[in-house]
């Protein structure tokens, strides 16, 4: 018996040692890897490529024929299947509501397209060539008295958004005000494959590779150190820039904070057992119960599985199809703003957004034929080569802030986030707001961002 106990003890000890070693291997911080800052993403052979470093002014401009062709498509809408009795947005976009929006788009909106085009051009637009791709961006320099502190800021959007999300917050950031003793010089790029930025011709342009493109863009426009604000893909890409280029990023503010490490989900499950030990009780329902949060995620992320596996198929369905494009994109501005809007016949779309603003965003996708290229980032993000990088296991000491809006699709507690954001200096909860915070609540996001910058400026 003594021998057997000894064998059992040795066996348990060895097994524990192996498990602990594997645990340490899985959870040990990782260093920043060597990065290829010149990876070529354009068409053809890189040997034939010579980068043009010039920066060219760009203007949003489309011939009347393009707009009239769109009007014709909106006038020739197929018969849409009516919604079920008593159903609002629970089955997807309510087709009665869609008919109203399509009519507005075809008549009122397109009738004033010259006005909308002028609005889209209200800020200076530019293009430059980065790693084989023509990258579009807005660049707004503040007009302030000499001696005013001007801070460079990179604003990053996601899907199915665009640079249009930031049109209401840009003036707040670039104008002097009593609530700050600084202003921002703002750079707002269209992500590669979005809007007027060229999509990759090669596999592999994942979020971590887009981070390199964005860092190169900031160098191109003259900034080696800068701040970042981002949501959705912009949040992930902003995180990666702040991880890869820690000496270049002065601060990173995100409104969709999340990380993926071997401990992130075990920690969330552990915190769910007794949330009050980990967070203020008044914010418990931002994160828990996990069953309800995961149920909502499952309901809202069917699109993600399609785009992560067959982006070109769904892209073909939507490209050049204004009816499908509007339904597919605008549905997200309903249920991602507040899941309760599924129960409203109008989807709650105009509670925070004007139809003009929503259609501006849809028009960017339609006019640039960028829906397919925009969706490919999902396939690249979930590819094995990207996942095995485990970037969130690389700690970043860059000052970080998280703005947590109540109806955001996914939230993580600070106990989880601090495994990666080791210098998380601000984490605020907001009783309203959803996924498109910059467009929905620009002043709230602005004030949270300015408070963060003021704290680290000190």
3-state secondary structure of 436: coil
The one catalytic residue among 137, 194, 232, 366: 232
Cα distance between residue 47 and residue 244, in whole Å: 27
* Tokens encoding 383: 């590819």
Cα distance between residue 279 and residue 404, in whole Å: 13
* Tokens encoding 23: 């645990």
Q: CB of 421 within 8 A of CB of 400? A: yes
Cα distance between residue 40 and residue 47, in whole Å: 10
* Tokens encoding 387: 């996942």
Q: CB of 238 within 8 A of CB of 252? A: yes
How many angstroms separate the Cα of 58 from the Cα of each of 137, 190, 338, 362?
Answer: 9, 13, 35, 20
* Tokens encoding 198: 């060229």
Catalytic site includes residue 435: yes
How many angstroms separate the Cα of 116 from the Cα of each of 69, 105, 164, 288?
Answer: 17, 12, 12, 42
Cα distance between residue 359 and residue 137, in whole Å: 20
The one catalytic residue among 125, 227, 435, 448: 435
The one catalytic residue among 244, 378, 407, 446: 378
Name the helix (H) or strand (E) containing 157: none
Kindly report the backbone phi and psi dihedral angles of residue 346, in degrees, each rounded to the nearest multiple of 5, phi listed first.
-95, 5
What are the DSSP calls for 209-247, one per residue?
HHHHHHHHHHHHTT-SSEEEEE-THHHHHHHHHHHH-TT
* Tokens encoding 103: 């009519």
Q: CB of 192 within 8 A of CB of 200? A: yes
How many angstroms separate the Cα of 2 from the Cα of each of 12, 14, 65?
Answer: 15, 18, 91
Cα distance between residue 139 and residue 186, in whole Å: 6
Q: CB of 400 within 8 A of CB of 428? A: no
Per the listing, tokens 């981002």 go with 230
CA 396-307-79 angle, 5° bins: 140
CB atoms within 10 A of CB 245: 22
State the number of CA atoms in the 13 A half-sphere of 43 facing the CB: 3
Catalytic site includes residue 232: yes
Active site residues: 232, 378, 435
């Amino acid at each position: 018996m003594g021998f057997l106990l000894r064998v059992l003890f040795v066996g348990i000890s060895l097994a524990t040692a192996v498990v602990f070693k594997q645990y340490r291997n899985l959870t040990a911080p990782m260093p920043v890897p060597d990065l290829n800052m010149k990876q070529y993403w354009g068409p053809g052979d890189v040997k034939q490529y010579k980068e043009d470093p010039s920066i060219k002014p760009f203007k949003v401009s489309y011939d009347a024929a393009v707009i009239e062709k769109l009007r014709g498509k909106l006038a020739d809408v197929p018969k849409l299947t009516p919604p079920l009795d008593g159903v609002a947005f629970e089955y997807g976009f309510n087709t009665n509501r869609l008919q109203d929006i399509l009519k507005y788009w075809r008549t009122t909106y397109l009738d004033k397209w010259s006005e909308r085009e002028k609005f889209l051009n209200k800020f200076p637009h530019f293009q430059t060539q980065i790693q084989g791709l023509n990258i579009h961006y807005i660049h707004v320099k503040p007009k302030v008295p000499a001696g005013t502190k001007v801070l460079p800021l990179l604003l990053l959007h996601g899907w199915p958004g665009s640079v249009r999300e930031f049109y209401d917050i840009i003036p707040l950031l670039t104008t002097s005000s009593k609530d700050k003793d600084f202003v921002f010089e703002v750079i707002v790029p269209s992500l590669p494959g979005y809007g007027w930025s060229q999509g990759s011709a090669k596999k592999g342009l994942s979020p971590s590779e887009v981070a390199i493109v964005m860092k190169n863009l900031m160098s191109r426009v003259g900034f080696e150190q800068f701040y970042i604000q981002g949501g959705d893909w912009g949040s992930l890409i902003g995180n990666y820039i702040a991880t890869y280029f820690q000496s270049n990023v002065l601060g990173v503010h995100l409104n969709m904070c999340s990380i993926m490490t071997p401990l992130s989900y075990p920690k969330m499950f552990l915190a769910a057992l007794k949330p009050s030990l980990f967070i203020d009780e008044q914010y418990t329902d931002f994160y828990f119960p996990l069953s309800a949060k995961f149920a909502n995620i499952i309901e809202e992320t069917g699109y993600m599985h399609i785009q992560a596996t067959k982006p070109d198929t769904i892209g073909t369905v939507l490209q050049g199809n204004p009816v499908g494009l509007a339904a597919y994109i605008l549905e997200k501005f309903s249920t991602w703003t507040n899941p309760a809007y599924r129960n409203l016949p109008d989807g709650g779309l105009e509670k925070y957004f004007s139809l003009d603003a929503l259609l501006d965003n849809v028009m960017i996708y339609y006019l640039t034929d960028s829906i397919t290229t925009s969706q490919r980032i999902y396939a690249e993000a979930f590819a094995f080569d990207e996942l095995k990088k485990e970037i969130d296991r690389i700690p970043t000491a860059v000052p970080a802030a998280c703005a947590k809006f109540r109806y955001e699709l996914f939230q993580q507690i600070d106990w989880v986030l601090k495994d990666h954001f080791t210098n998380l200096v601000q984490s605020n909860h907001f009783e309203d707001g959803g996924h498109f915070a910059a467009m929905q609540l620009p002043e709230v996001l602005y004030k949270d961002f300015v408070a963060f910058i003021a704290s680290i400026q000190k």
